[in-house]
Chain A
Amino acid sequence: MTIEIKVPQLPESVTDATLVAWHKAPGQAVQRDENLVDLETDKVVLEVPAPANGVIAEIKVENGATVTSGQLLAILEPGETAATDTAAPVAVSTDVTETAGGDRGGKSSDKLSPAVRRLLEEHDIDPSLVRGTGKGGRILKSDIQNFIDQRPHPEAVSAEMPLTPELAEPLFDQRSEHRIPMSRLRARIAERMVEAQQTAAMLTTFNEIDLTEVMALRTRYKDVFEKKHGVKLGLMSFFIGAAIEALRRFPILNASVEDNDIVYHDYFDVGIAVSTQRGLIVPVIHNADRLSFADIENAIREYGVKAREGTISMDDLTGGTFTITNGGVFGSMLSTPILNPPQSGILGMHTIAQRPQVVDGDIVARSMMYVALTYDHRIIDGSEAVQFLVAIKQSLEDPARLLLQV
């Protein structure tokens, strides 16, 4: 009695999906719940698990084909088999090409040195997220240290993988090109970027924030916080808190344009832009105004886990009334973020650096971050945008304001 493996029901807004790669070949044994194939939509990659133990009898759709909800993908012969998995899984992801000396580190554990293995385990890091700069793309101890240092607290959000495939040393003496078609996700991102540019009247205003107080607060309470709430106290919860206070005061930043109407949202769904191996995604923290610091940190951490495991759902990525992006993890000092349509505002965080500031007439070193606010000038005026950013600045420079909501 054979089992038909079909494309799962795709969410409403999604019409079809691309079959990225089969992980099993005909004749191969599979275990129940083992991932058979990856299907990629505009927003997420869906996995199709095996419903039972058995052997793949026949594959109906090839890699790269477009499929729709309910379409037949393969036939599974259920039954216990002495699972001799000789054929290697059909791995290849279509959006990144490995080149000579390619820097995708640690795919197999035999390339991981003892120090690297220790660090991966200690920090619960997925090696495929770490860029290896060693011989043949191996992960070095310093690569992991850099990865840990550069990702934002808490551990979750994976931020190290470059968005574009980077060539390692140029091939010896050649000036060749190679052409890679955009993945579905990449194409969709490209589309939305252009849409944002062409629709809104985007403008960016800047300011700088003295985060010395916030950093001191974090240092003072980080252990207690982690002990009580079971999650690290990051920077994001502060920024979201400050952003929401500012959004309350300047609701136009939380609105969107629909035809000739301005739609004000009475809720605060804050998106956090995350860079993953496959591209940029923006998971949304719904009703962020009702969440405590710990709730927010937990939500971010969970999204990080989901992103790594590829289990982020459509709902996680839809909605959002305002977005925060952090280029600081890559070392960005200052940038001009693009709006996430149909939102009207996006806050850009950058690296924190020690810079000399004048405090009470003295020059002192303070922890400074430049921030950027890109806004839709069709509905938001310069003065509102500037004051919004100033409000965020004030909340963060004197965190007591967050507590007192002043």
Chain B
Amino acid sequence: MSRKFDVVVIGAGPAGYVAAIRATQHGLSTACIDAWLTPDGDPALGGTCLNAGCIPSKALLESSELYHRAAVEFHAHGIGVGDLSLDLDTMQARKERIVCDLGGGIGALFKANGVTGLFGRGRLLPDLKVQYTPHDGEAELLEADHVILATGSVPVELGAAPFDGEHIVDSSGALSFQSVPERLGVIGAGVIGLELGSVWKRLGAEVTILEAMDRFLFMVDGQIARESQRQFKKQGLDIRLGAKVRESERTGEGILLKYDDEQGGHEICVDKVVVAVGRRAETTDLLDPLAGVDLGERGLIEVDEHCRTSAPNVWAVGDVVRGPMLAHKGSEEGVMVADLIAGEVAEVNYAVIPSVIYTAPEIAWVGKTEEQIKAAGINYKSGTFNFAASGRARAMDQAAGLVKILSDADTDRILGVHICGPLAGELIGEAVVAMEFQASTEDLQRTIHGHPTLTEVIHEAALSVDRHAIHAINL
């Protein structure tokens, strides 16, 4: 007699676990299967985000930034640090503790909401049956009214520099280095490459980032990307664009990376290599061919705008489907699907999803870039304001960067907000809310922002769109 549930979720990352909790909030009996095992062999909820992505990277970014600021900036505050030392083991242990606590937190939420957490692998069979194979046990057949696939993504491997688990690693490996590499090569200057590169640079590594594309951060607004590049250069982050890695070779000296760019062939020798060239959907062993779920390009599960797959009552959310590979996008899709299953009207507004890069300065944006607006032929206007003119930013000693706002010149509707600067990831929230309510620039102009805060920079940028910023000379 197989167990039956209203909803079976496969994957307990931010998309899966959120979908499961939301489903139980609707009174649906829900099971959530997850296969993650920590290096120690223990199951852990939270997926890539919690265990090998968002959370651990933020922990290390924070620690490394504090270390860096202590080393480089404290003296300007009149704070003498004496002999600054780094204990990487302690730093890693702190990270592990945070990850462990939060994972436990998800477990507690599951328990409180009545989600049946199942540790092992899940495989979708035809007719809404799911084969669940526990880590240590016999396979079991589950029956469901609805199945939500949320198996996420895995790092893409580079043929020129295949993972060896020790010297050439993926992002998970890069988060777990037991010692600071002397020379670190990072392949890929995307979000992950930049964040990881920043961490180890601050902790003392000599970091070289090789990016195959000619343009830095091509998906970010050009002006913001250029400003960020300038800032990273100032920090000594060596980012080489147009550099395509051809081959890697293990030598006595370290790992030799051979790459080509406009000028020709080059080589660099590093101690460790992090490959961060992207992530791809993970559907290994997930779908029985007769289950009726179609895969699309790049191995993503094909879904419509409500995350329905080609198989009735089978849904898919998160990194395993189209759209930006962002945890909050996955979570909102999870909520939407749970709501739809419960018979409610639900949708995700894909046009207003914020993106954040947790470098220092942080980069965050929502809406359209100037390039996208130009390409669409929209009559637009834009305004910027520098953090250098912000009292709060100066007091915080983090006055680099700017806020940029792009608006429709005819309707005054805000089309995009782009930030490079301190706490950009937090500040962008205001813009997201404004854009959700289809606000005009004037709405932001007429909204009171506290002083002295970083949010004022958003206010002044809005005023600048119409050329009447108070704290800047309007050109």
Give the distance in Å from the alpha carbon of A225 to the alpha carbon of B364 in the complex: 52
Contact partners of A100 in chain B: CB under 8 A: 345
Interface pair A115/B442, CB less than 8 Å apart: yes
Contact partners of A140 in chain B: CB under 8 A: 411, 413, 438, 440
Interface pair A118/B442, CB less than 8 Å apart: yes
Contact with B along A298-323 (1 / 0, CB 8 A): 00000000000000000000000000
Interface pair B443/A141, CB less than 8 Å apart: yes
Contact partners of A134 in chain B: CB under 8 A: 437-438
Contact partners of B440 in chain A: CB under 8 A: 113, 115, 140-142
Contact partners of B345 in chain A: CB under 8 A: 100, 171-172
From B412, B436, B445, B447, contact of A142 by CB (8 A) = B412
Extra contacts besides A114-B442, A114-B445, A115-B446 (14): CB < 8 Å: A113-B443, A115-B412, A115-B442, A115-B443, A116-B443, A118-B442, A134-B438, A135-B436, A135-B437, A135-B438, A140-B411, A141-B411, A142-B440, A172-B345
Name, among B439, B440, B446, the residue most crowded by chain A CB atoms within 10 Å (CB to CB): B440
Q: Which 9 A-B residue pairings sit nearest by Cβ, starting from the closest?
A: A114-B446, A115-B442, A142-B411, A141-B440, A113-B443, A115-B443, A134-B438, A172-B345, A115-B440
| A117 nearest CB neighbor, chain B only | B446
Contact partners of B437 in chain A: CB under 8 A: 113, 134-135, 138
> Smallest Cβ distance from B379 to chain A, in angstroms?
13
Contact with B along A169-189 (1 / 0, CB 8 A): 001100000000000000000
B116-136 residues at the A interface, CB under 8 angstroms: none
Is A99 in contact with chain B by the CB < 8 A criterion?
no
Name, among A115, A116, A145, the residue most crowded by chain B CB atoms within 10 Å (CB to CB): A115
Q: What is the number of residues of chain A that contact chain B, defined by CB distance less than 8 Å?
A: 15
State whether A141 and B413 are in contact (beta carbons under 8 Å apart), knowing that A115-B443, A115-B446 are contacts in the complex.
Answer: yes
| A171 nearest CB neighbor, chain B only | B345
Interface pair B436/A141, CB less than 8 Å apart: no
Give the distance in Å from the alpha carbon of A114 to the alpha carbon of B442 in the complex: 8
> Smallest Cβ distance from A135 to chain B, in angstroms?
6
Interface pair B438/A114, CB less than 8 Å apart: no
Give the distance in Å from the alpha carbon of A140 to the alpha carbon of B438 in the complex: 7
Give the distance in Å from the alpha carbon of A134 to the alpha carbon of B438 in the complex: 7
Interface pair A114/B447, CB less than 8 Å apart: yes
> Smallest Cβ distance from A143 to chain B, in angstroms?
9
Contact with A along B386-421 (1 / 0, CB 8 A): 000000000000000000000000111100000000
Give the distance in Å from the alpha carbon of A100 to the alpha carbon of B344 in the complex: 13
Give the distance in Å from the alpha carbon of A114 to the alpha carbon of B462 in the complex: 14
| A172 nearest CB neighbor, chain B only | B345
Interface pair B439/A142, CB less than 8 Å apart: no
Contact partners of A116 in chain B: CB under 8 A: 443
Give the distance in Å from the alpha carbon of A114 to the alpha carbon of B440 in the complex: 9
Contact with B along A375-401 (1 / 0, CB 8 A): 000000000000000000000000000
Interface pair B446/A142, CB less than 8 Å apart: no
> Smallest Cβ distance from B103 to chain A, in angstroms?
36
| A134 nearest CB neighbor, chain B only | B438
Interface pair B446/A118, CB less than 8 Å apart: yes
Give the distance in Å from the alpha carbon of A138 to the alpha carbon of B438 in the complex: 9
Contact partners of B446 in chain A: CB under 8 A: 114-115, 118
> Smallest Cβ distance from B411 to chain A, in angstroms?
4
| B440 nearest CB neighbor, chain A only | A141
> Smallest Cβ distance from B91 to chain A, in angstroms?
44
Give the distance in Å from the alpha carbon of A216 to the alpha carbon of B200 in the complex: 70
Contact partners of B410 in chain A: CB under 8 A: 142
Contact partners of A114 in chain B: CB under 8 A: 442-443, 445-447
Give the distance in Å from the alpha carbon of A145 to the alpha carbon of B442 in the complex: 13
Give the distance in Å from the alpha carbon of A141 to the alpha carbon of B437 in the complex: 11
Contact partners of B442 in chain A: CB under 8 A: 114-115, 118, 141
Interface pair B443/A142, CB less than 8 Å apart: no
From B411, B438, B439, B445, contact of A145 by CB (8 A) = B411
Contact with A along B445-472 (1 / 0, CB 8 A): 1110000000000000000000000000
> Smallest Cβ distance from B442 to chain A, in angstroms?
4
Pairs A–B under 8 Å by Cβ, sample size 27:
A113-B439, A114-B442, A114-B445, A114-B446, A114-B447, A115-B412, A115-B439, A115-B440, A115-B442, A115-B443, A116-B443, A118-B442, A118-B446, A134-B437, A135-B436, A135-B437, A138-B437, A140-B438, A141-B411, A141-B412, A141-B413, A141-B440, A141-B442, A142-B412, A142-B413, A171-B345, A172-B345
| B340 nearest CB neighbor, chain A only | A172
Give the distance in Å from the alpha carbon of A100 to the alpha carbon of B445 in the complex: 31
| B439 nearest CB neighbor, chain A only | A113
| A143 nearest CB neighbor, chain B only | B411
Contact partners of B447 in chain A: CB under 8 A: 114
Give the distance in Å from the alpha carbon of A145 to the alpha carbon of B440 in the complex: 12
| B349 nearest CB neighbor, chain A only | A135
Contact with B along A200-219 (1 / 0, CB 8 A): 00000000000000000000
Contact partners of B445 in chain A: CB under 8 A: 114-115
Give the distance in Å from the alpha carbon of A113 to the alpha carbon of B442 in the complex: 9
| B447 nearest CB neighbor, chain A only | A114
Give the distance in Å from the alpha carbon of A54 to the alpha carbon of B228 in the complex: 68
A15-68 residues at the B interface, CB under 8 angstroms: none
> Smallest Cβ distance from B312 to chain A, in angstroms?
14
Contact partners of B413 in chain A: CB under 8 A: 140-142
Give the distance in Å from the alpha carbon of A79 to the alpha carbon of B442 in the complex: 47
Contact with B along A106-146 (1 / 0, CB 8 A): 00000001111010000000000000001100101110010
Give the distance in Å from the alpha carbon of A135 to the alpha carbon of B443 in the complex: 15
Contact partners of A138 in chain B: CB under 8 A: 437-438
| B345 nearest CB neighbor, chain A only | A172
Give the distance in Å from the alpha carbon of A156 to the alpha carbon of B386 in the complex: 45
Contact partners of A135 in chain B: CB under 8 A: 436-438
